[in-house]
Structure 1
Amino acid sequence: MDIKAYIESGILELYVAGTLSEKENEEVYALMQKHPEVLQEVLEIEAAIVKLTASTSQRDSDHILQRIKQTLGFDGNKDTKVVSIAKPKYNWITYTGWAASIVLAAGLLWTVNQNKQLQSDVQIAETQQSLLETQIANSKNSLEDANVLISVLRDDNITKVPLAGQGNFASTFAKVYWDKDSDRIFLDAQGLPDPPEGKVYQVWSLTLTPLTPTSLGTIDSFTADANKIFEIKNANESEAFGITLEPAGGSESPTMDQLYTLGVVSAS
């Protein structure tokens, strides 16, 4: 395509004026994306329209009114009795310029609105694509996590430690699946209620002689996690596991009156 001839054809002016068909608008828009000189020409046309409409709106109305008075014979002379009506002179170039400026200004507004709508549609599409990709990634991760958990539950070498409710929390329960080969545990905390606001559950690895607690960290995502199964690193020679309720951020040592569950590792 001869881009120079296309620009000189006048179709870009019609595009800015908003008088093209939908198909023609799409063709012009496609060429704007492909050829920078076409885009530049459209921008220059729009800028010219803005200047034109600005200049026509700033005419001196007092000057125009004075011209009308002079034409009709009202020149300030009180004795004037005869009204002289001059033959109107039609300046078709001026009228045409005004009409063109109005049409092109309207077209400019239409183009701006169309561009805004297009940008909005693109943003919506990009957001939907991002959400879809996130959902796919989450589904993939969930499936992988489920497969890992299934393999752990079926592995005879995994040490299973039930944690029973303690004291005032006798109705609570949890279970630890300890994978010693990979220094990790899987904590099934479905038997614990959601912690109060400002509180978190903290998991402890214990040695019994002497009794020494080692923090395995807090479960900050407890409420948000639907499955209540958490993977936690544990490189300790644990003899028992416990869960306490602690202030947000955790504690250096367990709060014993907030000990929810406790379980001893089987000697087998």
Structure 2
Amino acid sequence: MELYVLGDISAEEKLQVEDMATQYPEIRAEITEIERSMEFYAEEHAIEPPADLRQRVLGSLLVNLGDDRIFTKAVTHQDDDHVRSLPPARVNSFYKYAFAACLTLLLISVYGLINLYSKLQDSNTQLTALQTDKIRIANQVNLMDRQLNMYRDTTYKVLRLKGMPKTPTAAMILAWNSVSKKVMVDVQSMNLPKHDNKHQYQLWALVGGKPVDMGVFDKPAADTAGVKEMKAIASAQGFAVTLEPMGGSINPTMDQMVVIGQF
């Protein structure tokens, strides 16, 4: 019934209450009592608005134009009439500072990752260079071991080839193994004249007074170490080197002989 008096029910429910109030006087009396109680409560707690505020509101309704700033000011200063203004809303800046802190940490992290990646790249480059040097040194050590084995192995015959009259300073050391038939040239001690890119040196074995092709080679760099293996041969009385066109010749060019040596 309180909802009926307040008008907070549907039209169908309102008809039902009115029909029951018509049939039962006690319900009508209860409704009347509720209405009186509510009117009494409203009168007891009613707040009389200031005269200037009432006049301004009425004037605004007539002309459909109100001054919001004066209206707000009038409401704010009516302390005696129990009218209180709401405090301004405080903007919570926690999220703003939190976002700024997170963004700063993110930038620091990105910078750290970039710096770490750069250091890793440098480390990888240095590691690659070290591995390359390690392989190069290992190859040099292997060649030097072969060179030392060539001189220590008693099955090798070491032959020193000397320069011809036109190349008196030329010299080369060669070792031939009569068991394995290997022929090794000492590259490090080789001292041969320089040649152009259209020619190569060719090694010949002297077998029964006839030259036998043992392969071609180029003048090595000054800092080259180790030995170079040439073609194998079962027997030889000596060896010689001539300067031939690129790729070698079938027969040696005698006037281009650089060094020769015999056992």
In the superposition, the TM-score normalised over structure 1's length comes to 0.51
Give unpaired runs (5+ residues) of structure 1: 1-83
The Cα offsets for residues 88-143 of structure 1, whole Å up to 9 and x where unpaired, read as: x999579955x666655554444333222212222222333333344444444444
2:15 matched residue in structure 1? none
Give matches, 1:26-105, under 5 Å: 92=91, 97=96, 104-105=102-103
The alpha-carbon distance between structure 1 residues 208 and 119, as it changes in their structure 2 partners (threshold 3 A), is: same
Q: Deviations over 1:45-92 (max 9, x none)?
A: xxxxxxxxxxxxxxxxxxxxxxxxxxxxxxxxxxxxxxx9xxxx9995
Where does structure 2 lack aligned partners over 5 or more consecutive residues?
1-68, 70-87
Q: Cα distance 1:154–1:109, how it changes in 2: closer, same or farther (>3 A)?
A: same
| Aligned residue pairs, count | 175
Aligned partners of 2:195, 2:107: CA distance in 1, in Å? Answer: 56
Amino acid aligned to 1:155: D
Larger Rg, first or second structure (1 or 2): 2
Question: Secondary structure of the equivalent of 1:205?
Answer: strand
Q: 1:117 aligns with which of 101, 111, 115?
A: 115
2:215 — aligned with what? 216
Aligned residue in 2 for 1:243: 241
- 2:170–2:191: 8 Å Cα contact kept in structure 1? yes
Alignment of 1:1-268 (within 5 A): 92=91, 97=96, 104-189=102-187, 190-193=189-192, 195-198=194-197, 201-209=200-208, 211-219=210-218, 222-223=220-221, 225-227=223-225, 229-235=227-233, 237-247=235-245, 249-253=246-250, 254-264=252-262, 266=263
| CA drift at 1:217 | 2.9
* TM-score, normalised by the number of residues in structure 2: 0.51
Q: Distance in 1 between matches of 2:204 and 2:158?
A: 14
TM-aligned CA deviation for residue 198 of structure 1:
1.8
Sequence identity of aligned pairs in percent?
21
> How large is the Cα RMSD of the aligned pairs?
3.6
